[in-house]
Structure 1
Amino acid sequence: MGVVNEEFEEWPLNDEGYPYRRAARVIVLDSRNRIFLTLGHDIDNAHLKWWFTPGGGREGEETATQAAVRELFEETGLRISIKRLHGPVIMRYTTFRFLAKTRKQDEEFFLLYVSDSEAQLLAADKTSGWTALERKVLDEQRWWDIDELDKAQRAGIQVYPQNLVELVRGWKDGWDGKCHTIIEE
């Protein structure tokens, strides 16, 4: 029952009748050209898996940057200052199937470059801050070399947003100041 109640709090219905939320995500990059991602699955279809960046729904009047920093800490244990975030670098508008429902989510992505010591912290298991729903649907967190991720994606693994590898390659030497708009349905 707790997961169901949590789901409704995080996903209120929008004017169209879809579960909807605004979210904030963090694209975490290290000095070795790696990106930190989480593997998740759908409770209703455990074979449907995808990799994505840390982040989640905004709470109350929270700004996107506040949500990004909070979610990063809850999901990884890494606490940072809002001032370290670059962006938003992506605005993503998506419609997808999850928990047996079609959902809509508007996401702001921010870029974060981490030190080697922070990268090591992220590599450790930090699931204590996860919600009950996250514990049920999140499977793994790890660093991906960008070329390795590109190869894996070409072999069929799902990564969201779908063009993440291409965008990250453009930011390896720093953010260019542009915000990309992505619509995925």
Structure 2
Amino acid sequence: MTVYTPRRAARVLLVDAAGRVLLFEGFDPARPGHRYWFTPGGGLDPAESPAAGAARELAEETGLRLDPAELGEPVWCDTTEFTFDGTWYRQEQDFFLFRVQSWQVDTTGFNDIEQRSIADHRWWLPAELAVSGERFYPPELPVLLTRLGQPTGAGQGEASC
């Protein structure tokens, strides 16, 4: 039986005016050949709200600084299980949608593990991602982005959590 480390996380679907989502290409240090694309975000600090964690992670990983209230409510929630650097995690995560005209990603805020396990970043159209043959998380991402469709307000989408 696998023993999982519980983890809470918050992630951001950062979408530009062209409808592209920002993803990072990373890999598990214990399995460097296992590459995948994922959204900005990460684990919550103790007692940190999902919106505060999402805003903090977005600033650290992209340089985009927001007030957590600007993220609104989560647009999607899920639970995932994965291994990273030899540890199995069961992660409950909230996804927030935030729209920007454009953004020049600044990764100077990466922590040590991010510097060692993130190889690249790229803006993806949902349809392009769906046919790319690349591994990405969450696997429902193209469908989720399509469902969220056009903006319903500044930085917010439909809540489904």
Is the structural similarity TM-score above 0.5? yes
Q: Is 1:167 matched with 2:144?
A: yes
The code of the aligned residue for 2:77 comes to M
Q: Which moved more, 1:21-30 or 1:142-151?
A: 142-151
C-alpha separation in 2, matches of 1:178 and 1:44: 34
- How far residue 171 of structure 1 moved from its aligned partner, in angstroms, is 1.5
Structure with the greater alpha carbon radius of gyration = 1
C-alpha separation in 2, matches of 1:69 and 1:134: 17
Task: Give 1:24-103 correspondences, 5 Å limit.
Answer: 24-103=10-89
Q: Is 1:140 matched with 2:126?
A: no
C-alpha distance 18-177 of structure 1, shift in aligned 2 (>3 A)? closer
2:100 is matched with: 114
2:158 is matched with: 176
Ranges in structure 2 where 5+ consecutive residues have no aligned partner = 152-156
User: Tell me, what secondary structure is at the counterpart of 2:73?
Assistant: strand
C-alpha separation in 1, matches of 2:69 and 2:87: 36
C-alpha separation in 2, matches of 1:17 and 1:170: 34
Cα RMSD for the two superposed structures: 1.5
% identity of equivalent residues:
35
User: Tell me, what secondary structure is at the counterpart of 1:88?
Assistant: coil
C-alpha separation in 1, matches of 2:61 and 2:108: 8
The code of the aligned residue for 1:161 comes to P
C-alpha separation in 2, matches of 1:29 and 1:110: 11
Bigger proportion of residues as helix: 1
User: Tell me, what secondary structure is at the counterpart of 1:61?
Assistant: coil
